[in-house]
Amino acid sequence: MLKIIMNYLCIVPVFNEEERLSILLEEINKFKEKNEYIKFLIIDNGSNDKSNEIIKKYNFNLITNKKNHGVGYALIQGYKYARKNKIDVLIHLAGNGKMKPDEITNFIKMINQYNYDFVNGSRFLPNGNYKTNPLIRVLLIRVLTKIISILYKRRITDATCGFRAFKCSVLENLINYVDSPKYYTYRYEYYSLGKILMNKNINFTEVPVTMDYKKKNYSKIRPIIDWFPIIFGWLEALVDGKKF
């Protein structure tokens, strides 16, 4: 059993997930029964289906946005909430059910017991699982990951996994800079991760995770359109010269 020495918050951005949201929230509830020290915050990012109604049936802290500004906006909003409430460690969990709440403890262990500052998930590590991921997506991610590892001169194995946990302090000087519409897309996640990789004073590692794409509409990332913000986020972090 983990010895708990920090305050933990998991934020779950949700946008139009009525078909599978109940299943995810039930999984989170079961996880919470064994891990009461981890708090959860659901952020309804402007859903226009029944997602908000479903969330309100459960006993979760909830932020409701009237408009969808983008996943980056919700994550930045979650970070601000965490800092305001003196949270030490923030966890990102997708709202579409492709990530497993039970695997959160693997991230916590690396931070709590081994003092890592930033832990990212990887479906490609041993004991990770990407069997249900479309082949073309797997190939594109592997190619991008190889390029990022070369450009950043730091080995990573999964350049697009958004399942992560990190000490809030590592983004303290970055968050105000990225709080603008430019980063409200997927760009925020990968720009910030790029800056983490560039800072050799930050202890970074990866842990194996399962990315389950068996479900219908398994990802909100649109082919080509949403890959641009991801790639530009990585490239901007590399060349803009800003240090945090």
List strands edge to edge, sheet with 204-208. Answer: 61-65, 38-45, 8-14, 89-92, 164-167, 118-122, 204-208
The string of pLDDT tens digits covering residues 177-206 is: 999 999 999 999 999 999 999 999 999 999
What DSSP string runs through 202-217?
Answer: S-EEEEE-B----STT
Q: What is the mean pLDDT of the chain?
A: 93
- What the block records as the tokens of 78 is 């979650």
- Is the pLDDT reported for residue 143 higher than 70? yes
Under DSSP, is residue 89 helix (H, G, I), strand (E, B) or coil?
strand
For the chain, the domain total comes to: 1
Residues, the chain: 244
Q: Which of 143-157, 162-176, 221-235 has the lowest mean pLDDT?
A: 221-235
What is the percent of the chain where pLDDT is above 90? 85
In the predicted model, what is the mean pLDDT of residues 162-182?
94
What DSSP string runs through 133-160?
Answer: S-HHHHHHHHHHHHHHHHHHTS--S-SS
pLDDT on residue 5: 67
- Is the pLDDT reported for residue 75 higher than 60? yes
In the predicted model, what is the mean pLDDT of residues 37-51?
96
Within-domain flag for 139 = yes
- Is the pLDDT reported for residue 219 higher than 90? no
- Is the pLDDT reported for residue 49 higher than 80? yes
pLDDT on residue 243: 80
* CATH number of the domain to which 79 belongs: 3.90.550.10
Looking at this protein, which amino acid is placed at residue 218? Y
Query: The domain containing residue 61 runs over which residues?
Result: 8-238
Within-domain flag for 244 = no
pLDDT on residue 226: 73
Within-domain flag for 183 = yes
pLDDT on residue 214: 75
- What the block records as the tokens of 212 is 């389950």
Within-domain flag for 43 = yes
pLDDT on residue 221: 65
